């Protein structure tokens, strides 16, 4: 998954949370990683710098280039987890090379860290996923995963204190989009210029989700088909959250190239690339055309902000110029495109407070007539509920309804299956409610295509599960409509 966040610690926190760790477990692991490396993925154990004659950066570069071949056996701690034992360093190096990335790459190291936890330390991982207290979880990481020589009470307190700081800072923190009307905006490079920067989003702000603002906008471009709009919004949001995608007018074609390589899902782009406000939006809409089989969108004639109004109109978009669409976000729909002719474009993400359902003229995703696929079922038709009584356990409730406590925990978002409270309402998925456990690489679109036979129905899954955005994470349980 692409790293999401403006700082290293925020990126690590978001990665570990998306991997299924609880708040306490995430904080506990991060506190230990900080104690080991200060969260620096290129950190080499200090005592080995003079011994080997390398700094953090030169050691990393020498290992990457092959100039230094002693990485596996030199016993120098390295990376965010300070991998030291030769078999673990061998695994790290092989994983990096297989992925085609630097041994000092943060995202690669986090992926390898999770791989180690899943395959070699499952008990530690289980603790981190269900932990409700930072101190106890920190001790599990200290003693059973990192296992340094110093495991004294003082060291336990020190590492737990680091973890508690992360917990206090991030646990329960509102998301960047909560309570705000957001747009996907690609506006400048890391130097606040239009060209000349490094590939990829260096600051997290080159292509980012930001609150709606008045440019001012000259018009709003709206496709009459909801599937087109929703897919556009998903792709624009995913692109804004992927730090592999940055801004540079001189390299504006590279994003479209990479987008096509990964099947038109911006979240899957791993190669650093660039675009600008108009080209990024145009490439997304062309990608929607490929995914929905819409030739007008695939062949969108627009090339920059100056000809986008006419180009999008010819591709089937409505051009909205009423003041209510331009002066506030209240009437905007996800997937609407905001245009200031000759200057700027952005994609709307949030549904406005006064917005309806879209064009009265309707329209099909393919650009022809729509045969309709139905709306699917709803959870309320067969889902049951159970109110916890004194003496109940989740496993006992599961047995009554012919299911397992693991499924009930996942379905109800219960972090620790051993803890339920009297009066708590437990939702029981009925026989008519199918579920899907999100796996790495899944998107709402791909799940709808696989489970419902039509990717354009992903908005039904979104609505059924009360999702406010299109982003999902591995381990998440989604209810599915009837096929």
Provide the pLDDT confidence category of residue 367 given band limits of 50, 70 and 90. very low
**pLDDT tens digit sequence for 449-464:** 888 877 777 887 887 7
Give the separation between CA 9 and CA 107, rounded to whole angstroms: 12
Residue 226 CA, distance from chain mean position: 23
Give the separation between CA 160 and CA 135, rounded to whole angstroms: 5
User: Which of 81-90, 182-191, 223-232, 406-415 bottoms out in mean pLDDT, i.e. has the lowest?
Assistant: 406-415
Give the separation between CA 348 and CA 170, rounded to whole angstroms: 27
How distant, in Å, are the alpha carbons of 98, 142, 452, 457 from that of 363? 45, 58, 21, 15
Give the separation between CA 216 and CA 338, rounded to whole angstroms: 10
Give the separation between CA 367 and CA 225, rounded to whole angstroms: 9
Which two three-digit tokens encode residue 9?
A: 């610690």
b/e code 149-177 from CB counts within 10 Å (16+ = b)? eeeeeeebeebbebbbbbbeebbeeeeeb
- C-alpha angle with apex 245: 241 to 247, nearest 5 degrees? 115
Which two three-digit tokens encode residue 155?
A: 């060291």
Q: Are 106 and 136 in contact (CB under 8 A)?
A: no
pLDDT value of residue 82: 95
Q: What are phi and psi of 436, to 5 degrees?
A: -135, 130
Mean pLDDT computed over 434-451: 81
pTM: 0.46
**pLDDT tens digit sequence for 136-175:** 889 999 999 988 888 888 888 888 889 888 988 888 544 4
**pLDDT tens digit sequence for 171-195:** 854 444 446 788 999 989 888 889 9
**pLDDT tens digit sequence for 61-88:** 999 999 999 999 999 999 999 999 999 9
Question: Using only C-alpha atoms, what is the Rg of the chain?
Answer: 25
Which two three-digit tokens encode residue 441?
A: 């690489």
For residue 448, give the DSSP letter: I
- Would you say how long the chain is, in residues? 483
Q: Which residues contact 289 (CB under 8 A, 6 or more apart)?
A: 295, 296, 297, 298, 299, 300
For the residues of 225-266, what is the DSSP string, one character each? -HHHHHHHHHHHHHHHH-TTEEE-GGGTTHHHHHHHHTTS-G
pLDDT value of residue 432: 53
Q: Are 289 and 297 in contact (CB under 8 A)?
A: yes
Give the separation between CA 76 and CA 71, rounded to whole angstroms: 8
pLDDT at 376 over 70: no
**pLDDT tens digit sequence for 237-256:** 889 888 899 999 999 999 99
Residue 423 CA, distance from chain mean position: 34
**pLDDT tens digit sequence for 9-52:** 999 999 998 888 988 899 999 999 999 999 999 999 999 999 99
- C-alpha angle with apex 421: 416 to 422, nearest 5 degrees? 155
Give the separation between CA 323 and CA 328, rounded to whole angstroms: 8
- C-alpha angle with apex 339: 337 to 344, nearest 5 degrees? 115
Alpha-helical (H) ranges within 300-448 are 305-314, 323-326, 394-400, 405-412, 444-447
Mean pLDDT computed over 419-426: 80
pLDDT at 362 over 70: no
pLDDT at 208 over 80: yes
Mean pLDDT computed over 356-368: 44
Provide the pLDDT confidence category of residue 442 given band limits of 50, 70 and 90. confident
pLDDT value of residue 338: 97
How confident is the prediction for the chain on average, in pLDDT? 85
pLDDT value of residue 433: 62
**Sign (positive/negative) of CA torsion 244, 245, 248, 250?**
positive
pLDDT value of residue 374: 28
Q: H-helix or E-strand containing 159? A: helix 153-170
Give the separation between CA 404 and CA 443, rounded to whole angstroms: 26
Mean pLDDT computed over 286-305: 93
């Amino acid at each position: 998954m692409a790293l999401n966040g403006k700082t290293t610690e925020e990126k690590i926190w978001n990665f570990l949370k998306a991997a299924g760790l609880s708040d306490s477990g995430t904080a506990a692991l991060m506190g230990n990683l900080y104690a080991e490396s200060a969260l620096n993925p290129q950190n080499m154990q200090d005592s080995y710098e003079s011994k080997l004659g390398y700094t953090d950066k030169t050691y990393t570069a020498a290992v990457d280039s092959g100039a230094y071949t002693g990485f596996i056996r030199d016993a120098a701690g390295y990376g965010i987890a300070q991998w030291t034992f030769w078999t673990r360093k061998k695994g790290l190096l092989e994983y990096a090379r297989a992925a085609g990335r630097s041994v000092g790459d943060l995202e690669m190291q986090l992926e390898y860290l999770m791989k180690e936890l899943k395959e070699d330390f499952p008990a530690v991982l289980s603790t981190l996923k269900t932990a409700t207290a930072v101190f106890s979880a920190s001790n599990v990481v200290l003693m059973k995963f990192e296992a340094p020589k110093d495991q004294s009470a003082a060291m336990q307190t020190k590492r737990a204190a680091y973890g508690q700081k992360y917990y206090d800072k991030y646990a329960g923190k509102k998301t960047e989009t909560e309570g705000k009307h957001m747009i996907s905006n690609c506006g400048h490079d890391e130097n606040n210029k239009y060209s000349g920067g490094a590939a990829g989003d260096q600051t997290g702000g080159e292509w980012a989700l930001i609150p709606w603002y008045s440019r001012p906008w000259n018009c709003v471009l709206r496709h009459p088909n909801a599937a087109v709009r929703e897919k556009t919004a998903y792709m624009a949001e995913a692109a804004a959250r992927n730090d592999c995608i940055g801004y540079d007018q001189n390299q504006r074609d590279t994003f479209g190239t990479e987008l096509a390589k990964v099947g038109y899902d911006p979240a899957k782009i791993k190669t650093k690339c660039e675009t600008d406000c108009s080209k990024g939006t145009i490439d997304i809409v062309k990608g929607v055309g490929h995914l929905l089989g819409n030739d007008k969108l695939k062949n969108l004639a627009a090339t920059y902000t100056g000809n986008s109004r006419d180009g999008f109109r010819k591709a089937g978009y409505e051009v909205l110029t009423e003041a209510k669409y331009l002066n506030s976000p209240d009437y905007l729909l996800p997937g609407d495109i905001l245009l200031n002719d000759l200057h700027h474009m952005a994609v709307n993400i949030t549904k406005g407070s006064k917005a309806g359902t879209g064009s009265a003229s309707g329209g099909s995703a393919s650009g022809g007539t729509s045969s309709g696929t139905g709306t699917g079922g709803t959870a309320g038709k067969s889902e049951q509920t159970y109110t916890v009584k004194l003496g109940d356990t989740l496993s006992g409730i599961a047995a009554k309804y012919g299911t397992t406590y693991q499924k009930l925990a996942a379905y109800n978002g219960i972090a620790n299956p051993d803890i339920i409270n009297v009066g708590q309402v437990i939702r029981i998925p009925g026989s008519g409610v199918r579920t899907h456990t999100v796996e790495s690489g899944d998107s709402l679109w791909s799940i709808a295509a696989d489970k419902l036979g039509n990717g354009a129905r992903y908005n039904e899954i979104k609505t059924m599960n009360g999702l406010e955005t299109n982003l999902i994470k591995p381990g998440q349980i989604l209810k599915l409509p009837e096929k």
